[in-house]
Amino acid sequence: MGEIIFGILMVGCLLVPSLIFKQWWLFLVFLIFGICFGLVEWFAVMKTGKTVSQHFWVFSQEHKWRAIIILGNMLIAWVSLLVHLGYKMFKKKEE
């Protein structure tokens, strides 16, 4: 049940604001991401009986530093996207 709630929150928090504010291209990006994520989750469960998260948790127990490197790179990627999207809002106007 926790996995389902996580999935709904993750996809909902990406899709709903872009839908409300009519950011159709961003909505499409997040929709495709959600569909791909959902299909990979479904395929992983059908093939192995475990979600992608469950596979990562097993990996992280066996390879702590490798898991930290993956998580760190994911953090850098998401923060980079946020900086990229927000850059023009916070950039000083040229005089």
User: For 6-16, what is each residue's pLDDT tens digit?
Assistant: 878 888 899 99
pLDDT at 95: 57
pLDDT band of 94, cuts 50, 70, 90: low
Return the higher-pLDDT residue of 6 and 70.
70
Contact (CB, 8 A) for 34 and 14: yes
**Structure tokens, 92:** 């000083």
Domain spans of the chain?
Answer: 2-90
Record the tokens describing residue 2, joined without a space: 């926790």
95 CA to centre of own chain: 38
The answer to whether residue 93 scores a pLDDT higher than 80 is no
pLDDT surpasses 80 at 31: yes
Q: Give the mean model confidence (pLDDT) for residues 46-69.
A: 97
Among 52, 22, 16, 19, which Cα is nearest to 37's? 52
Give the tokens for residue 86: 């927000």
Lowest mean pLDDT among 31-35, 84-88, 90-94: 90-94
Return the H-helix or E-strand segment holding 63.
Answer: none
State how far the Cα of 57 lies from the Cα of 43, in Å rounded to an integer: 18
pTM: 0.81
